[in-house]
A = this chain, B = another copy of it.
């Protein structure tokens, strides 16, 4: 099986998420990273490509899109791992060039950028994927299957939390810098991690809240962007829910948790112990599901051999590889444009609601 030639935009020295995408692409041997526009700084782009053994280094992603599309051995997909406000440019360029796009989340920094990506995606023959990695973890997929087959009955209560503590002090460091800059990030905690929470709930429950009431706060004095977000949710079905995303929850590392309560049972999952899903059928004891119960078979090792964050990312890349090779069986479980637009609608509604003192606001994609 020949690896699929892959490119990357962003992800030069000092970047975080680019390295993650590279490991994910490499893990199952499905991709070969052969081209990159790793930095807008030509010297750094070249040095990074060399360091990483990437054959073809570009300074401009526009040039890269054109050149790669023209090569017989050109890349068939590109990973976009730039800050949020720089997703739209390359995404559109590669989509226009007919090259599949694997874009980091959230979709964009503004609604305009998001719409432009959507239009390019609709016009293109290439596919657009959005790396909401958590939904590719095996027990999350099993949770979704359980909900779909009625294991918890009718959905009643949803609670998703995504708590981090790394921004508990005024920011320092490259990562903190752009993520707390409204112009580049578009949103704070709610964009960076709140969109993961939103997508996770949607992925597992199959339902989208119709309205929300949000309280976005800047807990650290002087921070120009939200670092704590509490959002109440109403579903058309009558279900109620909540999202709490915070980056000032001291001591929390990456505490993303999902709890669902239905008329006939409950599910509970935590990202930091991802290989365990607690399923409580009504009036029965809780059951600790592991990968032994994962019917999606999203793993490489027997249960009890912990797989985690990187393997979740790699699950996405493997599913994407299958789609690129023409196998669409698992296409529906890969997040994409709709997830991205839904996330943008969530962001917008939350920001509007918060500006209006928590007024209940429709979520309109």
Contacts and interface: CB of A to CB of B under 8 A. Distances in A.
A288 interface: yes
A73 interface: no
A19 B288 CA distance: 28
Contact of A251 (B16, B53, B265): B265
Interface stretch (A87-95, A111-119, A123-131, A272-280): A272-280
A23 B27 contact: yes
B293 A300 contact: no
Interface in A42-72: 51-53
Contacts of A290: 253, 285
Interface stretch (A100-108, A199-207, A213-221, A331-339): A213-221
Interface string A353-365: 0000111100000
Contacts of A156: 219, 228, 248
Contacts of A252: 261, 266, 304
Nearest to A262: B250
Contact of A157 (B28, B246, B293, B302): B246
A309 interface: yes
A52 B26 contact: no
Interface stretch (A77-85, A237-245, A319-327): A237-245
A263 interface: yes
Contacts of A238: 219
Contacts of A213: 213, 215, 232, 358
A255 B1 contact: no
Interface string A284-299: 1111111011000000
A219 to B, nearest CB: 5
A123 to B, nearest CB: 35
Which of A240, A244, A250, A255 has most B Cβ within 10 Å? A250
Given A254-B304, A287-B287, 8 more contacts: A23-B300, A152-B250, A164-B304, A213-B232, A230-B242, A250-B282, A273-B273, A285-B287
